[in-house]
Structures are given as structure tokens and as C-alpha cells.
Amino acid sequence: MKAALYCRLSEEDRNKLNKEDDSNSIQNQKTMLLQYADVKGWEVYDIYSDDDYTGSDRRRPEFNRLLEDAQAHKFEIVLCKTQSRFTRELELVEKYIHGLFPIWGIRFVSIVDNADTANKGNKKSRQINGLVNEWYLEDMSENIRSVLTNRRQNGLHIGSSALYGYRKDPEQKGHLIIDEEAAAVVREVFALYSQGYGKTAIARILNDRGVPNPAEYKKLHGLRFKQPKGEINTLWRYDTISAMLTNEIYIGNMVQGKYGSVSYKTKINRPRPKSEWIIVEGTHAPIIDRSLWDTVQKRIAEKAKPFASGQIGIFAKKAKCVYCGCTMRSCKNRGRHYLQCQTRYVSPNACPGAFIPVAELEEIVIQELQRLSGELLDKEELERNITLADNWACQKEKLHRDIAVYQKGIAQYTQCMKDLYLDKAKGTLRDEEFAAMSADFLAEKNRLEQQLKNLRQGLDRIEQRFSTGDSRKEMIAQYLNMEHLTREVVVFLIDHITIGHRDLETKRVPVDIYWNF
């Protein structure tokens, strides 16, 4: 029989290691697994090893490669040191170890905690291991969150990199010191704005002088930085200047907690309302003095005017330059509104620039809606164009699989609770132990039931759409006779629009519309 050996080492494990203790090292895990496979007479198909990944990270490259090979039936056994090396999430224990692995003909074995799916008698033990690992994840997440919140409230910087203009103090953890080279640029930006220069004009001045923008500066100086996606990396931009002019860190206040994770099971972050930000004043030396800061904030407040008589622009954040990918900004000249690529105005040689009147773009979108309506209202054309049925079928199949996994998990928790009650009745469990374990089982069962409810609602929505047919026809038909677009219609119908430079011969602006249907 062929066995796949899986090893994992997290940063937490690494911190526990010292010269005398390498029991959690990757090499030690490999040696243990190879010896065990040799004793059992199993042929080693491959060794899958994830270094510096937590047990809750579903994006582990070798973990996902192992799952792909398991589904392709390239081996018969998955061998780990412990079940937690494979995953600390109970949901994945149920999905793979108890769900898909048996379907794929895969046996799961972990050495230290004696988990073995070939042994039907220790299934409850594997589930308890999964629960303990899940509790560990949740407790660890809460502990880390508590520690980080406390550090933020004490004014300590906890980010991976310092804001442009500062560096991390090598002598004092969590403290920022001024980076004079970058700070000089920050002071110039504030000074220029206070003198009446616009944000685009300031960006153009810096670009003309070849001053590297914050990301490029950090890259050149070997500092950690975040690479913006789909952006020109070396240029100063309107948005960069705008964010700098309103950041209180430049007046010595530590501002943190602007974003928060959705759940301890995911690394996805969401913006938090300003009322939840953690702001501690006077934590480090200011780059900008208070009088200049107040002058700049007053000017920003005076210039902040709503677009189009109090309404947000109908194409706001929807129109993008086809050449550089930047979001086009609105401008106004002689009473007419336009969309323009900001890159061309901060550095003319970097991008040909996209430019179009809002009224012209509105007319193009309405004409395209009318054309699509004509196509979709034509029955024969509609039948040729509809391809959504296959997509719906795939979505339904996936939802049915997920529902089956959650139903199985709920049934197992129900059985575990019954077993706990029997153990209590037999006297093998004390009342306080029964209360604690049953409460945890019930909480996890309730969570799975809520997930199951959400999945069933999603399935109902797909069934409804599938039974009524393609709704694109009705979606577009209601906008057939529109003379003007609204912001709500644009958000509902359009994902984004790419715009190019006007052709000098045809006088047409290249426009590609990416619909939400």
C-alpha cells in the first residue's frame, strides 16, 4: 500500500524550539513517519511538507496538493504525526477524514494520538481530538486578539511595517522613530497642500523630481512594504497624497484597528467604523506640527464637495483606465462632468490616459443595454446564448455535497451528546464534566446547523432561478426605455468598465462593459 506522509511546522512551534529540543521540527516528523511506514511495510508515495503554516490555514500549498493527489487515488493512506498536523478545524476533520477520504478510499492514520479510520472503535476519539483542536484554535485566537488589543490600547505599534516617514525603533519594540529622509517628503506634501496646491499637482511635482513613492522607497531601502495590486508601483498618486494628509500618525497619535478579521478561521479583513478605531495620543515624535495639521484639515474640509449636486457619481469606482488599471476620477469643467485617469496627470509619460465625458459614457451604456435587451428578448437568440443552466447544475451539486457533510456532522454531534448522557448515567462522568462537554458539543452542533441553514437557503435560491429560467431577459428589459442611469442601476448591473484614449480618426472612445450577469 502507498502512503502519503504529511508534515507541518507552524511559527508557533518554531518559537518553542531550542537547541536541545527539536521534537516538533519538520525533519523529526519526517524521520518518525518514515520509520512508522517502514515498520508497517507501506511504500512511501511522497512527502508533503508545509513549513511556517498554522493548522487552520486552508491555503497551505502542500496540504492542498495532498488533497488533489488523494482525490486522484495516487495513494491509499495519509500518515501524520498527529491529527492536528493535518488540520485543527473540526469542520475539515468531518469533511475529509470522515467524509471524502472514505469515498476516495483513503485511510487516515496519525501516530501519536492513535487516530486510524480503519479502526471503527476510535471514531469518537478522533472527533474529540477535532473538538479539542478547534477549541485550541478559538482560545488561541481570542488570546492573541486580547494581547494585540491591549498593546494597541497602550499605544504600541504592532504592524509588520511602519508608516512611510517612520521606522520601527530597534531599541524599543512597538515604538516608532522618525525616518528623516522620508519625513522630509511628508513635510513637503503638507506644506504644498497648505499653500494651495492640489493633491494631483503635488503627486506630479514629486513624480517629476523622481521621488520614489512609499512602496518603492521601502523596497529600495530593504524595508517591509505592501505591494498594491494592479497599480503602477513607482508613482505618487492622488490617493496616496489624500491618505497621507489625513493620517493622525503624522502628528504623534497612534491609530490602529482600522480593519478586523471576519473570523478566527479566515485571514479576510473588513474595514471597521471609525468609532471602533484605537487612537492613543502622543505615542511618538510628530513629523507635522499641530498648526500645520489644523491648516491642512481645514482646507480639506472646505474643498470636500459632493459630486453632482449632493449625489455620488453614477460611475464612481466602476470606471477603470484600460492602460494602467487605475480607477478613474471625476472632474468638472464648465458645468460638465468627466472621468479621467489620474496616472496621466501625475506622470504624463507613464500612461496614455483615459478620458470621457460622463454623459457620453452614460449614453454608451444605455445603448448597450438596449442592444442586449433586443438580443435576449429574441427567443432564438436567447436559446443560443443561455449557458447558465450548466453553472447552476454545478452549484447545486456542490451545495448538495456540502449539505451532506454538515448533516453528517450534526448527526455525529447528536450521537456524541447521547453517549455523554449515557456516560453520565453510568457515573463515568462527573456532573461538571458533563455540563462543560455537553455545552461545547451543543454550541458546535448549533454552529453546524446554522451553516446547514445557510446552504439550504442558497440551494433554494438556485432552485428558484433554475425553475423560472434565465432572468437576464427580465433584468435588462426593465431598463429598456431608460433615458438616464442612476447610481443604483449602475451598481446592480455593472461590475466595472474599462475606458481607453479617444481615437483621433473615428473620435470614438474604446469602452468595454463588464456586466454582473
270 contacts: CB under 8 Å, gap ≥ 6: 259, 260, 261, 262
> Which neighbouring-strand residues pair with 404?
none
Lowest mean pLDDT among 65-69, 176-180, 203-207: 203-207
Q: How does DSSP classify residue 279?
A: E
Residue spans of alpha helices (H) in 309-430? 342-346, 358-377, 379-385, 388-426
| Whether pLDDT at 210 is above 50 | yes
11 and 111 together in one domain: yes
For residue 353, name the pLDDT band (cuts at 50, 70, 90).
confident
Cα separation values, 138 from 56, 89, 316, 429, Å = 10, 10, 39, 25
pLDDT for position 286: 95
478566527: which residue's cell?
264
Domain end (from 261, 276, 303): 303
- Would residue 269 count as lying in a domain? yes
Contact 399, 448 (CB under 8 A): no
How many beta carbons lie within 10 A of that of residue 184, not counting itself?
14
Same domain, 297 and 169: yes
What is the rounded average pLDDT of the residues 120-137?
A: 61
Q: What is the rounded end-to-end Cα distance, in angstroms, of the chain?
A: 49
Whole-model pTM: value is 0.47
> Which residues span the domain enclosing 53?
2-122
**Angstrom distance (rounded) from CA 296 to CA 124:** 64
Confidence of residue 310 (pLDDT cuts 50, 70, 90): very low
**pLDDT of res. 68:** 93
Domain count for the chain, please give it. 4
| 374, 502: one domain | yes
How far is the C-alpha of 327 from the C-alpha of 176, rounded, in Å? 33
Is it the case that residue 386 has pLDDT exceeding 50?
no
Q: What angle, 0 to 180 degrees and rounded to 10, lies between the N-to-C axes of helices 199-208 and 180-194?
A: 140
The enclosing domain of 265 has a CATH number of: 3.90.1750.20
In this structure, the answer to whether residues 161 and 248 fall within a common structural domain is yes
Same-domain check for residues 205 and 323: no
Residue 208 scores a pLDDT above 90: no
3-state secondary structure of 513: strand
pLDDT tens for residues 27-73?
888 888 998 999 999 999 999 998 878 777 788 899 999 999 999 99
Are 399 and 462 spatial neighbours (Cβ–Cβ below 8 Å)? yes
C-alpha–C-alpha distance, residues 74 and 116, integer Å: 19
Look-up: residue for cell 507635522? 288
If DSSP codes are grouped into helix, strand and coil, which group holds residue 166?
Answer: strand
Is residue 110 situated within a structural domain? yes
* Window from 199-208, 277-286, 322-331, 504-513 with minimum mean pLDDT: 322-331
Do 392 and 266 belong to one domain? no
Q: Is residue 146 part of a domain?
A: no
Q: What's the pLDDT at 17?
A: 47
